[in-house]
């Protein structure tokens, strides 16, 4: 099964989870070395600027998911 079968979700909350998954997979694809990611985690986990940037990336991905779902309008 692919890691991202679809951008289509039932609810905005599910869409937000997809946005987080997209963001996490971007990091994993960019830095495929698990050990390197683990070593770097304390640096960004305790840095307010890094956490703010993560929020921005998730928000951009959520915008993509929301658009794919026609903003969940019925």
Burial of 49 (0-12, 13-18, 19+ CB in 10 A): exposed
Q: What is the pLDDT of residue 74?
A: 76
Mean pLDDT by 10 residues, the chain (74 residues): 92 98 96 97 95 97 98 91
Name the nearest CA neighbour of 61 among 29, 10, 9, 26: 26
Q: What is the pLDDT of residue 40?
A: 95
The residues, any chain, with a CB within 8 Å of residue 57's CB and separated by 6 or more, are: 23, 26
70 phi-psi bin (left φ>0, alpha ψ -120 to 50, beta other): left
Say how many C-beta atoms besides its own lie within 10 A of residue 40's C-beta: 14
């Amino acid at each position: 099964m692919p890691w991202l079968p679809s951008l289509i979700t039932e609810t905005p909350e599910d869409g937000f989870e997809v946005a987080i998954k997209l963001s996490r997979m971007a990091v994993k694809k960019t830095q495929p070395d698990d050990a390197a990611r683990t070593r770097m985690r304390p640096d960004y986990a305790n840095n307010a600027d890094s956490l703010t940037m993560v929020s921005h990336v998730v928000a951009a991905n959520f915008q993509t998911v929301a658009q794919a779902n026609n903003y969940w309008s019925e």
